[in-house]
Structure 1
Amino acid sequence: MNGTRVSAFLKLSKRDLKYDLPASIVVFLVALPLCLGIALASGAPLFAGLLTGVIGGIVVASISKSPLSVSGPAAGLTVIVLGAIQQLGAYETFLLAVVIAGVVQLILGILKAGLIGNYFPSAVILGMLTAIGITIIIKQIPLAFGLTEPHAFEMDNGGGLNAFTDTIISSINVGATIICFLSLAVLIYWPRLKGLSKIPAPLVVVLIGIGLTFAFQSTPWALNPDHLVSIPIVSSFSEFTGLFIFPDFTQILNKEVWIVGVTIAIVASLETLLSIEAVDKIDPFKRNTPTNRELVAQGIGNMSSGFLGGLPMTSVIVRSSANVNAGGRTRQSAILHGIWLLVALLAIPTAINLIPLSCLAAILLHTGYKLAKPAIFKSMYVKGLDQFIPFTVTVLAVVVTDLLTGVGIGIVVSMFYILRANMKNAFKFDVSKDSDDKNRATLTLAEEVSFLNKVPIQQKLYNLPKSIDSILIDGQFSKFIDKDVIEVIKDFEKNALSKGLEIELNDVSYKKG
């Protein structure tokens, strides 16, 4: 009976399993290195990355009604997570912020705030993602060259810049560098190879990395344990349960924890809604995901992840698109990929610990490039300065400051252009000849005329050319006219009549205000 209920709840389909099973394996192979790499970039335990992938697959996909979306740790949150862990001082305190983020998302879903993404300027959102890509690239460059020792980045006061440069060069591991650059080449060119492209490039990268690690063992290019993934190896159930880290609820009144939690909730929700929109567009069956239900699912997922020691998660476009391309049909694929991650964590941790960190760095460098590739800057420039400037300002602000401050600055700049456009489009002004061959001006008000349009309308009315003999102010197409604007028009009417200027008002009244 219970099995029937679970099957009905998940809406599992034997008919679609022949598509979803192979797709889930592809998604698993893509997700495994990404979960590890994102945990690495976030400054969190690598186990946390895999745990988040498991929860994103099994928990979120079971609740969500998205047929093809795959959830897990997101590259877009690495900057926030890294800064938050350092800011809050303890990983357990950070986990409490993740739980709070999940609660906020759950509330947003219940309040039907799934349309929240529509209220953020697209230029700012794209700028945020691009800045995250740049930040990921900057932070992964040291690992790409095998620079794992903290002292390698400290300036030597005695030797100055030359000593610092010499320290960096001497600390570079040639083996790790070769693995990283070869991995990048595979990630770029492998998908272009016909017949072989069905095998996920990240899997090929991991296999090459492990192979070269063994090949370099007896050479000067050998990698040491610090250059490899290190997740705990468990031999019993009690050891496995001992890996979980629980949030520190004694910090519940800590203001910083709440700020981090709300920040994660907002950014994760935006990234999820953007990803869901993108996945629905590439869905061959053109199905629509209920966004409010998705926020509820993500909220429960983040609450679960934070409570058990995982990272914040979102719907992720890389894994989701891999699911679509592999022929996935239903959310069974996402659920099964979470199960495979759990099996890998329990059954092959030794094999996972053979993966070089420079492999993961290459995957993240490639991910960062896709988020911040030059073509994005070009496409934004083509759209016009009103899109390009807010986008560029957001990118610079996020990279130089932090994500929340940068997005705030981007929104302010974007609002300037929105208000500017609104002011320009407040009315249409034409001059024509009437039946008596006199110059007649017509000022047609826009559909929405707010108080922001007061100044441009006032300036236009009081700076009419002297050749104008009469004017018509037409509000018949307006659904709303602000009272301040109506007062300006009424004052101008009195002024015009006192000067002998013929004026006609058409459907301009306080009823519109």
Structure 2
Amino acid sequence: MIPPLSLLPSGTLHRDVMASIVVFLVAVPLCVGIAVASDVPAELGLVTGIVGGLVVGVLPGSSLQVSGPAAGLTVLVYEAVHTHGPAVLGVVVLSAGILQVALSAMRCGRWFRAISVTVVQGMLAGIGLVLIFGQAYTLADSAAPSGGLEKIGGLPRLVADIVSGGAARSAFAVGTGTVLVLVLWKRMTGRFSRMLPAPLAAVALATAAVAVSGLPVATVEVRGVIESVQPPGLGDFFLLGEVAVLGTVAAFALIASAESLFSAAAVDRMHDGPHTDYNKELMAQGAGNAVCGMFGALPMTAVIVRSTANVQAGACTKLSRVLHGVWLLLFAALLPATLGIIPVAALAGVLVHAGAKLLPVRQLGPLWREYRGEAVILIVTSLAVVVTNMFEGVLLGLLLAVVKTAWETSAVHVVVDDGASPRIGVRMTGSATFLRLPEILDPLEALPHDRPIELDLSGLQHLDHACRTALTGWAQQHNEAGVEPVRVRIPPSASA
């Protein structure tokens, strides 16, 4: 809970207020840009940001991380809206929030820490690539193809449209200028960048440039907060009878939970205050998504960009993230018309930059050198997200991670003692699973049939059914041609 303002030291109160303003300035362009990229009204991004501040901000869990719409769910929201229609958004987000609350009640929050970090990095990298390829078209005010491969295949045509001039070139100039400001802002402004965050500065400069030059570029469509909010009707919940919609609910809940809790772990390393209670944070995120679903708004997660800005701006308590929600509410209520002058290409530039930051470019080289299998999982997961969709890509990544782990933990060693004794001794150690059958059977089948054999399995920690059956079959074949039956020592502790 937030302590009463009268109990806060004056310095703490001042730092929280200033941090809330910084987070608000970071949140506005991101909330609007994510909504536009998700193909929903821009105001719904603000609604999710408001709920993230006023609802999640006061609940227990993490103390300094900030919640709101996240670029990581943009692709999934876009797919859901275009596959099942806009009415499904509120139903899916509400159901995902309830599922998160249920997972919290079962104290499953800490289990999200067991998800392969490489799969999560691959998921985020795939999302980053999809954002870059998709928003590249929005940079030029062009319609993007539907599939990931189609987006990549259409890039030559997009380049030709930009080179040919006209509106596409003007919009592309605005978008790429936005990206350049985002990249160079801290270098150009130094400490001043904390007072005026790069996303707001980039969008503001792009908006001013368009207003002064009169460039023919598309701007954000303004509908009004009241008109944009569309709570799900009772009939919309019948959509939950479709398997595809239930899969989307599960994807929303699991991915939002994993991203939030990984963000919490990262934010905890940035400050010396109380660390996150993962089950309570999962409950808070679920409550926030349930409220967002009631308004038909975007799903939320804890957002590392806003959370980092909050910590770096000197926030001390939860008050900063609650106040950032208050500022968003005031902005949505008093200044919604200002959204109508923002160029869509500028928001696309913000998301292209956000997508590029999701790519683990610096980490991939060391990961490849030290843990090549993990690097393969990361690359395959990210490409699968681009080629198929986020849910199937993550499932493939998790499957690869499980197979890799099973392969590594099933290491088995076969030692053949062909000494002076007439009997050949074969000793196995490690874990004998079906994945290692070739390594087990090849040396056994190469043994001579005219000498007695003793097979010692007492050193095995695990012996699965497939290996037990294969060894029994080999012993029977050897016995039919051998001079003496194979003697097998199977430990009673070896599980089958």
The alpha-carbon distance between structure 1 residues 418 and 463, as it changes in their structure 2 partners (threshold 3 A), is farther
Residue 8 of structure 2 is aligned with which of 3, 14, 32?
14
Kept in 2, the 8 Å contact 1:68–1:320? The answer is: yes
Alpha-carbon distance between aligned partners in 2 of 1:166 and 1:492, rounded to the nearest angstrom: 67
Alpha-carbon distance between aligned partners in 2 of 1:243 and 1:486, rounded to the nearest angstrom: 63
User: Does residue 509 of structure 1 match 2:496?
Assistant: no
Letter in 2 for 1:47: E
Residue 153 of structure 2: aligned partner: none
Residue 24 of structure 2: aligned partner: 28
Alpha-carbon distance between aligned partners in 2 of 1:270 and 1:12, rounded to the nearest angstrom: 36
Deviations for 1:325-368, whole angstroms, at most 9, x for unmatched residues? 22222222211111111111122223333322222111101001
User: Does residue 334 of structure 1 match 2:312?
Assistant: no
Alpha-carbon distance between aligned partners in 2 of 1:462 and 1:136, rounded to the nearest angstrom: 54
User: Residue 315 of structure 1: CA displacement?
Assistant: 1.0
The alpha-carbon distance between structure 1 residues 471 and 197, as it changes in their structure 2 partners (threshold 3 A), is farther
For the residue of structure 2 that corresponds to 1:198, the secondary structure is helix
Residue 182 of structure 2: aligned partner: 187
Kept in 1, the 8 Å contact 2:46–2:332? The answer is: yes
For the residue of structure 1 that corresponds to 2:232, the secondary structure is coil
Per the normalisation by structure 1, the TM-score is 0.80
Report sequence identity in percent: 31
Residue 118 of structure 2: aligned partner: 123
Residue 192 of structure 2 is aligned with which of 196, 201, 204?
196
Alpha-carbon distance between aligned partners in 2 of 1:250 and 1:275, rounded to the nearest angstrom: 36
Deviations for 1:217-261, whole angstroms, at most 9, x for unmatched residues? 3xxxx245xx2223345xxxxxx6554211132032321433322
The alpha-carbon distance between structure 1 residues 414 and 231, as it changes in their structure 2 partners (threshold 3 A), is same
Deviations for 1:174-219, whole angstroms, at most 9, x for unmatched residues? 54333322221111111234333323111211221232122213xx
User: Does residue 260 of structure 1 match 2:287?
Assistant: no
Residue 430 of structure 2 is aligned with which of 438, 445, 453?
445
Within 5 A, what are the aligned runs for 1:415-426? 415-423=402-410, 425=411
Gaps of 5+ in 2: 146-155
For the residue of structure 2 that corresponds to 1:197, the secondary structure is helix
Alpha-carbon distance between aligned partners in 2 of 1:398 and 1:307, rounded to the nearest angstrom: 29
User: Residue 18 of structure 1: CA displacement?
Assistant: 3.0
User: Does residue 403 of structure 1 match 2:390?
Assistant: yes
The alpha-carbon distance between structure 1 residues 491 and 499, as it changes in their structure 2 partners (threshold 3 A), is farther
Gaps of 5+ in 1: 1-5, 151-160, 234-239
Alpha-carbon distance between aligned partners in 2 of 1:331 and 1:70, rounded to the nearest angstrom: 9
Letter in 2 for 1:303: A
Alpha-carbon distance between aligned partners in 2 of 1:476 and 1:176, rounded to the nearest angstrom: 68
Alpha-carbon distance between aligned partners in 1 of 2:158 and 2:283, rounded to the nearest angstrom: 54
The alpha-carbon distance between structure 1 residues 405 and 512, as it changes in their structure 2 partners (threshold 3 A), is closer
Kept in 2, the 8 Å contact 1:380–1:391? The answer is: no
Residue 207 of structure 2 is aligned with which of 205, 210, 220?
210
Residue 276 of structure 1: aligned partner: 264
Alpha-carbon distance between aligned partners in 2 of 1:434 and 1:311, rounded to the nearest angstrom: 72
Residue 47 of structure 2: aligned partner: 51
Per the normalisation by structure 2, the TM-score is 0.83
Alpha-carbon distance between aligned partners in 1 of 2:494 and 2:310, rounded to the nearest angstrom: 54
The alpha-carbon distance between structure 1 residues 485 and 195, as it changes in their structure 2 partners (threshold 3 A), is same
For the residue of structure 2 that corresponds to 1:253, the secondary structure is helix
User: Does residue 103 of structure 1 match 2:98?
Assistant: yes
User: Does residue 357 of structure 1 match 2:355?
Assistant: no
> Could you say what the CA RMSD is over the residues aligned between the two structures, in angstroms?
3.8
The alpha-carbon distance between structure 1 residues 109 and 430, as it changes in their structure 2 partners (threshold 3 A), is same
User: Residue 376 of structure 1: CA displacement?
Assistant: 4.6
Within 5 A, what are the aligned runs for 1:109-258? 109-147=104-142, 169-193=164-188, 194-199=190-195, 200-217=197-214, 222-223=215-216, 227-232=218-223, 241-254=226-239, 255=242, 256-258=244-246
Letter in 2 for 1:229: V
Kept in 2, the 8 Å contact 1:98–1:261? The answer is: yes
Alpha-carbon distance between aligned partners in 1 of 2:493 and 2:131, rounded to the nearest angstrom: 55
User: Residue 397 of structure 1: CA displacement?
Assistant: 1.8
Residue 378 of structure 1: aligned partner: 365
Residue 295 of structure 2: aligned partner: 308
The alpha-carbon distance between structure 1 residues 366 and 242, as it changes in their structure 2 partners (threshold 3 A), is closer
Alpha-carbon distance between aligned partners in 1 of 2:286 and 2:30, rounded to the nearest angstrom: 21
How many pairs are equivalent? 477
Residue 39 of structure 1: aligned partner: 35
Residue 150 of structure 2: aligned partner: none
Residue 282 of structure 2: aligned partner: 295
Alpha-carbon distance between aligned partners in 1 of 2:159 and 2:329, rounded to the nearest angstrom: 43
The alpha-carbon distance between structure 1 residues 203 and 13, as it changes in their structure 2 partners (threshold 3 A), is farther
Alpha-carbon distance between aligned partners in 1 of 2:111 and 2:50, rounded to the nearest angstrom: 27
The alpha-carbon distance between structure 1 residues 146 and 504, as it changes in their structure 2 partners (threshold 3 A), is closer
